[in-house]
Structure 1
C-alpha cells in the first residue's frame, strides 16, 4: 500500500500550493494586461502616424488648392494690372489661412510684383525681389503647372524655413503671365505634431521629398535646413513600402519606428519611441511576479512549519485528551476535557493568518479594480478620439465634396455594377439633355454622349472596356467646334477595385492652339519661300562667270535682293513683336510727341509703289498743339500698318485714305478711313487674332502673315490705349486709335 503523507507535510504542501497558485494567477493576469497595453501602445503609435500623414497631406493639399484656385481667379486682374484688387484677395487668403507666412505675385521672369503682408515678419517693408534663382521657379517654368517646393530658407523679409506652393497664372490665350506663391509656415506643423505626442520619449519627424527635416524635436527647423539622407532610419524607410513599422538600433538604444510616405508630396512621416519605454513595464512585471512567487514560497514554507508544529502539538494534545478520555471512559473515570482545552489557540492563529491572506487578496483586488478603472478611462479617451476623428472625417468629406463641385473638370464615380454614385455639376452641364431620363447607370451616360457628341457606340464600348482616353467633338449653335477629352480610371480601396471613374476636360483651347501652330508653320513656309527663292536666283545670276553683266542690271538685282532681305527682316520683327506681346515683355519708351508730325512722317514712310493712284487727306481738328506721351517708333509702326493695309486691300481705281486727328477729355484720337474692299461683320471680332486672315487668296496675292493687326492691338495695349474698327464690305473700313493724354501713366 502507498504510504500516506504526514499531516504536517500535507498541510505544508497545501499552503505552498495555495500561495504559489494565487501569485501565479494574479501575476499572469497582470502580465496579460500589460502585454495588451504594449500592443495597444504600438497600435496607437501606428494609428497616430497614419493620422499625422493624413493631416499633413490634407494641410498642404488644402493650401495648394487655395493657391491654384486664386491663381485662376486673379488672372484677369493680373492682365489688367489691378493690383489693388489682387492685394484684397491676398489679404482674405491670409485671414482665412494663417498657415501662410506671406504671399506674393511674380511675373514670368521671377520678379516679385506684389507682396502680402506688406510689412514682413522681420518688420521690413516688402521689396520687389527677384526669385528666378529659386528651384521652384525653374520647376514651374518647365512644368507650367502647380509646384510644391522642398523646404528652403526664405528671403525677402524672412529667414524662416518655408515650403512654397506656386501656381502659374495664365492669360486668356493660355500663356503664362506670372505666378502666385504662398509660403507655408512649417512651425504650424511642428506645433501640431508636438501637441499630438503625449509622452516625452516619443518623437515625430517629418521630411520633405529631398529628406530635409521639416519637423524634428532635436533640430531647430524654424532656422536650420538639415538633410537626413544618410540617416539609417531614412535609408531603411526608403527601401520599404509606403507605410509600416519596424525596430532598429539607433545609437545605443533600440527604437520602435512607425512611418508613412505621403506619395502626393514625396514627404515622409515617422514616429520614434524607445523600445524599453514600450515594453519596460512588461519586463518589470514579469520580474516582479517571479520575485514575489519565490518570496511567497519561502514565507509559506516557514510560516506553515511554525503553524503546523503548533497545530500538530494541539492535535497531539487533543488526541492525548481523546485517548485519556477514552481510557477514562472505559475505566468509567471522570475526565475534565474542557478544563484542559478550552480551544486550540493555533486555530486563532490560523484564523489570523487567514484574515491576513484575505486582506492581501482584497488589497490585490483593489489594485486590480484600480487598473481596470484606468483601462476604462483609456477606453473612454480612445472612444472620444475616435469620435473626434469621425467628425474630422465628416468635415473632410464635406471639403472634398466642395472641391469636386468647384473643379473645372467633370468627374463621375460608378461602382462595379456600373451604377452612378457621384457626379459633379460640370459633368452634368456637359452632357445635359432634358429630353432624356435622369442619370442612373453607365448606359444613361453612353446614351447622352451619343446624342451630344460626334461619336459611335463602338468607340464608346471600346473606351469603357479598355480605358484610356477618348476625344469628343461637339458643334455649337454658333458654328464653333467644341472639344472634350474623356478619361477612365479605376477606383480602389485597400488594393481592391470598388468601381471606376470618368473625367471629362474641355480641351477646346488646346485644339485652337494646335491649329494656330499649324497656321504658323504654313505661313512661315510660304512667306519665306518666295523672297529666299528670289534672292537665290539673283545671287546665282550674279555669280555666273560666263556673262559680263551691266552695272545697271547688277544694281537692279542687288536692290531686289535688298528688298527681299528687308521683307524677311520685317517678318522676323513681326514675330518677335508678337512674342514680346504674348509674354508681356514689350518695352516702350514714352516721351512727348506731336500727333500731327507723327502722322505726316508715317505717311512719308509709305513705300512709293503703294502710293501710286492713291490720295491721302489729313484733317487736323485739334485746336493748338496735339501732344501726348508715347513711343514714337511704335506709334509710327501702328499708323504705317493701317496705311499699308488701306492701300493693299483696296481694289478702287483711285484709292483714298482719310486721316482725322481729334481729341476729347481722355484721349488723343486718330482715325484712318479708306475706300477699300472692307471686312465682313463675321470677321471683325477675329481680325486682331494672331495669324487670322480674312481672305486667304487675297492674302497670298498681297503677302502677309496675319500678325499686323495683332501687333497693332498689342502696341495700343502697351500704351494703355485702345483700337476700334468699323467696316462694310465693298465700302471701306475705319480704324480708330485712342492714345491717353499728356501726363497719363504708361507702363514700361
Structure 2
C-alpha cells in the first residue's frame, strides 16, 4: 500500500465556505439592523471566518479520520500501524475507500487460494497414504504368512517372497518418483543439456516397450518415415523418461490391437513438437485440468490394477517445464488421446 493518501482540501474548502457564508449573512443582518457597518468590515470578517473554519475543519477532520483509519488497520491487520503513521491521513475519502476495497479484494483472493491449496493438500496426503499403504500391507501380509508357517513350504515361500519383492519394488518407485518431483520443483535436479537426434531416441524407446505393447497387440509406429535426423537441444535422459512415461500410458490404457503413433513436427523456426497419439479409451474433459497432478487417477480402481506410482504424468510435466517448454493434452472419450510437448531445435 502507498505510504500517503492523496492530499485533498475539497471537503474543508466547501464546508468552510458554507459556514462562512451562513455566518456572514447572519452577522450582516444583525449588524445592518442595529448598526451601520462598513462593507470592508464584512469582507474582513468573511475572510477571517473562512480561514479559521478551514484550518479547524482540515485539522480536526484529518485527526478524526486518522484515528479511526489507524484502528481499522490495526483491527484488520491489513497494514502494520507503524507504516500508517508515516503517512498523512487527509479528508480524501475516495482514496481511502479505494485502498480498503483493494485490500478486501486481495484478501478474498488469498482466502480462496488458501482453500484450494488446503483441498489439494488433503487430497495429496490421502493419495500418498493410499499409494504407500497398498504395497506396505501387501508385503506385510506375505511376510506374516511366511512367519506363521508357510516358510516351511519351499514353493509357497518362493512365490510369497517374489510377491513381497514386487511390493517393495513398487514402494521404491513411489519414493524415487516423489524425490525426483521434489527436486524438479525446487530446482535441485540439474539438466544435462546436449544435442541429440529425437527420432533415434524415439526408436530406442519403441524397442524398450515393444514386448509390452505386443502383449496387447498394440503397434508402436511413426506417423511417417523420417529418413533424416531431427536434432534437438535438451537433456536426453530426461526426455527419454518423458517418452517412456507417455508411451507406457498409451499402452496401459490403449485398446487391444490398437496403435500408438509418434510424430515430430516443426512448430516454429527454433521449435519442434513431439506428439504421442493413441486410439485408446480416451479421457473425459472433466479430468483434463487435473491430469498432471501427483497421484491423480482418472479411473480410481482400474488404473491401480495396472500398477505404477501414479506420478508419471506429473514427472513428465515437471521435466518439460524444467526445459522451459510446454506440454499439451487433447482427448476424446472413447476415441483416444494425444499428448504433445515442445523442444528446442538444435541449430
Q: So what's the TM-score if we normalise by structure 1?
A: 0.32
d(CA) in 2 for partners of 1:563, 1:701: 14
Aligned to 1:601: 204
Aligned to 1:532: 136
Question: Aligned pair 1:655/2:258, yes or no?
Answer: yes
d(CA) in 1 for partners of 2:138, 2:183: 30
Listed one character per residue, the Cα deviations across residues 102-159 of structure 1 (whole Å, up to 9, x for unaligned) are xxxxxxxxxxxxxxxxxxxxxxxxxxxxxxxxxxxxxxxxxxxxxxxxxxxxxxxxxx
Offset at residue 601 of structure 1 (A): 2.8
The match for 1:592 among 186, 195, 207 is 195
The match for 1:576 among 166, 175, 179 is 179
- Bigger strand fraction: 1
CA 555–265 in structure 1, closer or farther in 2 if over 3 Å, else same: farther
d(CA) in 2 for partners of 1:674, 1:559: 33
Matches within 5 A, 1:82-97: none
Larger radius of gyration between Structure 1 and Structure 2? 1
Query: How many matched pairs?
Result: 268
CA 638–545 in structure 1, closer or farther in 2 if over 3 Å, else same: same
Question: Aligned pair 1:642/2:246, yes or no?
Answer: yes
The match for 1:563 among 166, 171, 175 is 166
d(CA) in 2 for partners of 1:573, 1:630: 22
- The answer on whether the counterparts of 1:667 and 1:738 sit within 8 Å (CA) in structure 2 is yes
- Bigger helix fraction: 2
Offset at residue 546 of structure 1 (A): 7.0
Question: Aligned pair 1:732/2:336, yes or no?
Answer: yes
Matches within 5 A, 1:687-726: 687-703=291-307, 706-726=310-330
Q: So what's the TM-score if we normalise by structure 2?
A: 0.64
Aligned to 2:280: 676
Listed one character per residue, the Cα deviations across residues 491-536 of structure 1 (whole Å, up to 9, x for unaligned) are xxxxxxxxxxxx8665221111111111122212221222112222
- The answer on whether the counterparts of 2:124 and 2:294 sit within 8 Å (CA) in structure 1 is no
CA 585–557 in structure 1, closer or farther in 2 if over 3 Å, else same: same
Q: Secondary structure at the match of 2:117?
A: helix
CA 597–561 in structure 1, closer or farther in 2 if over 3 Å, else same: farther
CA 660–556 in structure 1, closer or farther in 2 if over 3 Å, else same: farther
d(CA) in 1 for partners of 2:161, 2:150: 19
The match for 1:518 among 122, 125, 130 is 122
d(CA) in 2 for partners of 1:264, 1:607: 68
**Root-mean-square deviation over aligned CA pairs:** 3.6
CA 722–620 in structure 1, closer or farther in 2 if over 3 Å, else same: farther
Offset at residue 676 of structure 1 (A): 1.1
Matches within 5 A, 1:13-412: 62=3, 264=81, 393=88, 401=95, 404-405=98-99, 408-410=102-104
Whose relative contact order is higher, 1 or 2, with alpha carbons under 8 Å and at least 6 apart? 2
Q: Secondary structure at the match of 2:334?
A: coil
Listed one character per residue, the Cα deviations across residues 251-309 of structure 1 (whole Å, up to 9, x for unaligned) are xxxxxxxxxxxx8569xxxxxxxxxxxxxxxxxxxxxxxxxxxxxxxxxxxxxxxxxxx
Offset at residue 554 of structure 1 (A): 4.8
Consecutive unaligned residues in structure 2, runs of 5 or more = 5-79
- The answer on whether the counterparts of 2:262 and 2:274 sit within 8 Å (CA) in structure 1 is yes
d(CA) in 1 for partners of 2:286, 2:335: 16
Aligned to 1:161: none
Offset at residue 556 of structure 1 (A): 4.2
Listed one character per residue, the Cα deviations across residues 147-182 of structure 1 (whole Å, up to 9, x for unaligned) are xxxxxxxxxxxxxxxxxxxxxxxxxxxxxxxxxxxx
Offset at residue 642 of structure 1 (A): 0.8
Consecutive unaligned residues in structure 1, runs of 5 or more = 1-57, 64-262, 267-391, 411-425, 428-502, 744-748
CA 545–660 in structure 1, closer or farther in 2 if over 3 Å, else same: same
d(CA) in 2 for partners of 1:523, 1:741: 38
- The answer on whether the counterparts of 2:266 and 2:272 sit within 8 Å (CA) in structure 1 is yes
Aligned to 1:507: 111
CA 559–519 in structure 1, closer or farther in 2 if over 3 Å, else same: same
Q: Secondary structure at the match of 1:591?
A: strand
d(CA) in 2 for partners of 1:542, 1:393: 79
Question: Aligned pair 1:742/2:340, yes or no?
Answer: no
Listed one character per residue, the Cα deviations across residues 69-98 of structure 1 (whole Å, up to 9, x for unaligned) are xxxxxxxxxxxxxxxxxxxxxxxxxxxxxx
Matches within 5 A, 1:609-620: 611-613=214-216, 614-619=218-223
CA 548–697 in structure 1, closer or farther in 2 if over 3 Å, else same: closer
The match for 1:685 among 286, 289, 292 is 289
Q: Secondary structure at the match of 1:673?
A: strand
CA 730–586 in structure 1, closer or farther in 2 if over 3 Å, else same: same
d(CA) in 2 for partners of 1:714, 1:726: 18
Offset at residue 715 of structure 1 (A): 0.9
Q: Secondary structure at the match of 1:724?
A: strand
- The answer on whether the counterparts of 1:523 and 1:705 sit within 8 Å (CA) in structure 2 is no
d(CA) in 2 for partners of 1:399, 1:589: 58
Matches within 5 A, 1:439-454: none
Q: Secondary structure at the match of 2:123?
A: helix
Offset at residue 703 of structure 1 (A): 4.5
Offset at residue 545 of structure 1 (A): 6.0
CA 542–730 in structure 1, closer or farther in 2 if over 3 Å, else same: same
